Amino acid sequence: MDPSPKQPRIDDAFGRILARCWAADTAPWSAVEVIERHDGLIVANDASRYFSEPEQWSSLDRWVWEQAAGRILDVGCGGGRHAVAWVARGHDVVGVDASPEAVRITRERGAEAVVGSVPSLPAGLGMFDTIALSGDNLGLLGGPEQAPQVLAALAAVARPGARLIGTGTDPGDGGTDHAEYHAWNLSCGRARGQLRLRVRDGAAATPWFDYWLAAPGELTAVVAGSAWTLESLEHDPAGSGYAVYLRI
Amino acid sequence: MDPSPKQPRIDDAFGRILARCWAADTAPWSAVEVIERHDGLIVANDASRYFSEPEQWSSLDRWVWEQAAGRILDVGCGGGRHAVAWVARGHDVVGVDASPEAVRITRERGAEAVVGSVPSLPAGLGMFDTIALSGDNLGLLGGPEQAPQVLAALAAVARPGARLIGTGTDPGDGGTDHAEYHAWNLSCGRARGQLRLRVRDGAAATPWFDYWLAAPGELTAVVAGSAWTLESLEHDPAGSGYAVYLRI
């Protein structure tokens, strides 16, 4: 009898990778993040980027980081790179991440953090002056269907006049590498850059989740239907990245 | 409509990884080899190990390398690490690899190589004094069912008195990480350490293939039924590796 392939065990694969990197003093390539897209694409990245310092960030992420004020909610805090840098500047920061290990590490590094994800944020977070989706975490808006719920959930913890800041990536036309995937997404009624991903590590994988590379026009359309107002959208002149600054 | 996950495209994923590493002057972590096991386990390795020099090899692989004599068939030559080192010593070497890119790189490095795999070796290779399955390539014996065919195919290109040398890994009891996989294999009528693997890179994957971590007792049983005679089996005192030296 020839066995059929099995699926990996659902577990905190992302957190396991972060924990291995953290235990190795965040040395380059001490842990590899393997990301699988549901069309079979697989990529492997150096996980130490989740512990990078501000001088190693993109200029857009540094700009976003400078825009924070008051009490900050760091959505998708990962290993705490942004939260720790804000704490060092004297900010009150709460990180939120779906990964229990990410939360443990962020706390160990001196920033408050709780397990949770958007749009169903955990109760009791309190209210914030800044909601941050740094490090390309505008992707956590998930897609055109989920984004309004995420923006509403973030508005519900925003103090009057609060800002929502973050960075994202324009999927463009996909080039030769991604055009087929974009077309497949569109044929399924999904957004062009609505990536369905999971992180894999050893025998473990995260559940599949949607991560949205929204074109600026797609993003502004979603924001227009929300409680938020777009104040600025900055493009990376050299690449496909952008940063946004919204107000409530 | 929600799309179901797709399978990656079957292509020379292993060769693509080698080519990226080779194009980057074999710098550490310039390319990552992602290997998937069919129970969902996934591992990511630095592909530069496929270009390592003799002083970086295991003591068993160095020992095997010293045992070569005359004209050598390097089975599963990869990026040519063993073949190139033998050529530098004045040996006549032919590498065989299922990956066209691996063959291209091995040739570019100055060793002869052809696309092919065991047990169906390409025609016209000629006869050899040494058959080498270095770098853990005893795994290419594939499993208890395939191994006799592989050993017969290698015997068919062996000159009288030729040697078959190589290194392998004892799967042991699998420890906590692999015991479940071993049990699954056994329940399917496969050998305990008969790994079913594929290499993944970007949108590409190799076909699934069997790679056999044979216990020394399993290996000697298979050899006993072949044209080959076991002259020695050397254990790594510090690990689970072993080296074999067979004669025809």
- Tens of pLDDT, residue by residue over A145-176, are 999 999 999 999 999 999 999 999 999 988 88
CB contact under 8 A, A184 and B5: no
Subunit contact B40:A190, Cβ cutoff 8 A? no
- Residue reference for tokens 């699954």: B184
Residue A38 to residue B5, Cβ atoms within 8 A: yes
Residue A163: both structure tokens together: 């800002």
C-alpha A242/C-alpha B1 separation (Å) is: 30
Name the amino acid, one letter, at A45: N
B2 touches chain A (CB under 8 A): yes
Q: Residue A2: is its pLDDT beyond 70? A: no
pLDDT in tens, A185-219: 999 999 999 999 999 999 999 999 999 999 999 99
ipTM of the complex: 0.91
- d(Cα A21, Cα A50) in Å, to the nearest integer? 9
Cis peptide before A5 (omega within 30 of 0): no
> Which CA distances in Å does B206 have to B73, B84, B149, B211?
23, 25, 22, 13
Q: Which helix (H) or strand (E) holds B21?
A: helix B13-23
Residue A130 has pLDDT above 80, yes or no: yes
- Contact in structure between A169 and A236 (CB atoms under 8 Å): no
**A6: contact with B, CB 8 A cutoff:** yes
Task: Mark yes or no for CB contact A3/B32 under 8 Å.
Answer: no
Instruction: Give start and end residues of each alpha helix (H) in chain A.
Output: 13-23, 59-67, 81-88, 100-108, 147-155, 175-187, 216-224
**Contact at CB, B7 and A40, closer than 8 angstroms:** yes
| Cβ-based contacts under 8 A for chains A and B | 82
Structure tokens at B155: 């015997």
What is the rounded distance in angstroms from the CA atom of residue A242 to the CA atom of residue A234? 5
Residue A246 in tokens = 């919204």
- With beta carbons under 8 A apart, name residues in chain B contacting A6: 38-40
Residue A176 one-letter amino acid: T
Question: How do residues B93-152 score in pLDDT, each as one tens digit?
Answer: 999 999 999 999 999 999 999 999 999 999 999 999 999 999 999 999 999 999 999 999
Domains and CATH numbers, chain A: 9-208+215-247 (3.40.50.150)
Residues 21-50 of A with CB under 8 A from B: 28-29, 32, 34, 38-44, 46
Distance CA(A173)–CA(A189), nearest Å, equals 17
CA B117 to mean position of chain CA atoms: 10
- The residue of A41, A185, A197, A210 whose CB has the most chain B CBs within 10 angstroms, and thus the best one to mutate to test that interface, is A41
- Which residues of chain B have a pLDDT value below 70? 1-2
The whole-model pTM stands at: 0.94
Identify all chain A residues contacting B46, using CB atoms and an 8 Å cutoff. Answer: 29
Please identify among residues 124-183 of chain A the ones whose CB lies closer than 8 Å to any CB of chain B.
177
Report DSSP state, residue B226: S
B157 neighbors B192 (Cβ within 8 angstroms): no
Q: Which of B9, B28, B44 sits opposite A34 (nearest CB)?
A: B44
Residue A200 C-alpha, separation from nearest chain B C-alpha, in angstroms: 7
**Omega of the bond prior to B119 within 30 degrees of 0, cis?**
yes
Q: Say what the pLDDT of residue B228 is.
A: 98
User: Residue A83 CB: number of other CB atoms within 10 A?
Assistant: 29
Task: Determine, for residues A6 and B40 on separate chains, whether the beta-carbon distance falls below 8 Å.
Answer: yes
| Contact criterion met (CB < 8 Å) for B202 and A46 | no
CB of A102 closer than 8 Å to CB of A94: no
Q: Across residues A92-102, what is the average pLDDT?
A: 98
Nearest CA in chain A to B196: A5
Rounded CA separation A191/A211 (Å): 11
